[in-house]
A = this chain, B = another copy of it.
Amino acid sequence: MNEVTFAVLGTGGIGRRTLEVSQHKEHLTPVAACDRHGVALDFDGLDVDELLAATEGNIDSGPRDDDVATDGGAAAAGGGVKQHGEDEGVVASDQAHPSENPIRDVVDHGDRIDAVLLALPNYEHDFIPRVADRFLEGGYSGVVIDVLKRSRVIGMLDERSEAFEEQGITFVCGAGATPGFLTGAAALAAQSFVEVEEVDIRWGVGLKSGYEDNRGTVREDIAHLPEYDIATARDLSDAEIEEIIDDRDGVIEFEDMEHADDVLLERAGICDAEDVTVGGVLDVRSDEKPTTTTVSVTGTTFDGETATNTFQLDDATSMEANVNGPALGYLKAGVRRNRAGEYGVFGPAELMPGF
C-alpha cells in the first residue's frame, strides 16, 4: 500500500476538519479541495494551514438551488460569520482559483487523485447519487467516499453499482461517525456471536460551541423528526429551525431514525436490517453530551449463550472527532480495495476484516 492522495468536495465543517485531521495521518496527502466557488489543487500536497486560515468562517450551511452544489461557500445572508478577502469560499486561499465547474476540475485531474471525499450537504435523497454521476460522466476511476446517513440513498447508489464496476470506482458510503464508525464497531462486537439478534445504536451530541459550524447537520437531523422529512426540513428558514429548537429547550430526541446503519449492517452480513435500531439525543445548548454514544450488539454465541457486547465513545469526544478519523480510515481501506480491483458500492462494515 503506497501513498494515498485525496480530494475533498466541500469545505464546510466536515471538509475542513477532514483536511485538518489528515495532517495527523501518515501516507495520506490532500491534493484538492473545492467548493461552489472554486478549487484548490496542489499535487505536492495542499498547504492545509493556509487553506483553513484563509477560508475560516466561510461556512455555508444553507440549501441552494444549484443542480449539484458544493458546500462551504459564502455565509448565508445574515449569518454574520467572518469573511476573508474579496473572494468567496475556497477562492480566498492563495492555492485556489475560481471555477465555473469545480467538480469537473477535480474529475479532470482524477488520474492523480486516489480518493474523493464528498463533504457536501445532503438535502435531497438523490444528491450524493447525482454527484456520483458526475464522476461517472467524467470518467473517474478510484475511490469516492461519503459520510451520508440515510438508508434509502444506499439503494440509489446500488443502482449505479454496475457502472461503478465497469469504470473502476469503489464507492464507500456512510463512512462518518454514524453509520461509519458505529457500524464498524457493531461488526466487530458481533464477532463473539454466530447469530446477531439486535444492534442498538444510540448517539449523543452536544453542539453548543459547534452549532454555527454544523447548521447543515442540524437541519439534516431535523428531517429525521416524525413531523418532518428532507423536503420540509430543506424549506425551513433559519428562524423556523430556531423555533423547533426553542420548543424543545435545545434538546432534540430521535427514535427509530432512518439511518443507513441498518442497510449497511445487513449488506455486511452482520444481521437483518430490521434488527437494527438507531436513536439519539442532540443538545444544541450544551457541549456536554446528553447521552453517551453506545453501540450494543446482542447475539448468541456458538456455545448457546445470549450476550450483549458494547462499544462506548467517551462524552469528551466530539461528533467532529468521531466523523473525521473514521472517514479517513475507511478512505484508506477503500483505496486498498480499489487497488485490488474491487469495485462497486461498499459500506464501512464491509471494509472490516472479512467478518
Interface residues of A (CB under 8 A from B): 1, 17, 20-21, 24, 26, 181, 184-185, 188-195, 269, 301-303, 305-318, 320-322, 324-326, 328-333, 335-336, 339-342, 348, 351-355
CB distance from A337 to the nearest CB of B (A): 8
In angstroms, how far is the closest chain B Cβ from the Cβ of A195? 7
A-B contact pairs, 11 of them (CB 8 A): A191-B329, A307-B314, A309-B311, A309-B317, A311-B312, A329-B352, A329-B355, A333-B354, A336-B340, A339-B340, A348-B353
Closest residue of chain B to A210, judged by CB? Answer: B303
Copies in the complex: 2
B308–A321 contact, CB under 8 A? no
Complex interface: chain B residues within 8 A of A353 (CB): 184, 329-330, 332-333, 348, 351-352
- Give the 4 A-B residue pairs with the shortest CB-CB distance, closest first: A332-B354, A333-B353, A307-B314, A340-B340
Which residues of the partner chain B approach A354 to less than 8 Å between Cβ atoms? 1, 328-333, 335-336
Residues A24 and B195 in contact, CB atoms below 8 Å apart:
yes
The docked-state distance in angstroms from the alpha carbon of A213 to that of B151 is: 45
Q: Which residues of B are found within 8 Å of A303, using beta-carbon distances?
A: 318, 320-321
**Contacting residue for A352 out of B331, B340, B341, B352, CB 8 A:** B352
**A339 / chain B contacts, CB cutoff of 8 Å:** 340
| Docked-complex contact A314 and B321, CB < 8 angstroms | no
Closest CB-CB distance, A206 to chain B, in whole Å? Answer: 12
- Cα A61 to Cα B151 with chains together (Å): 50
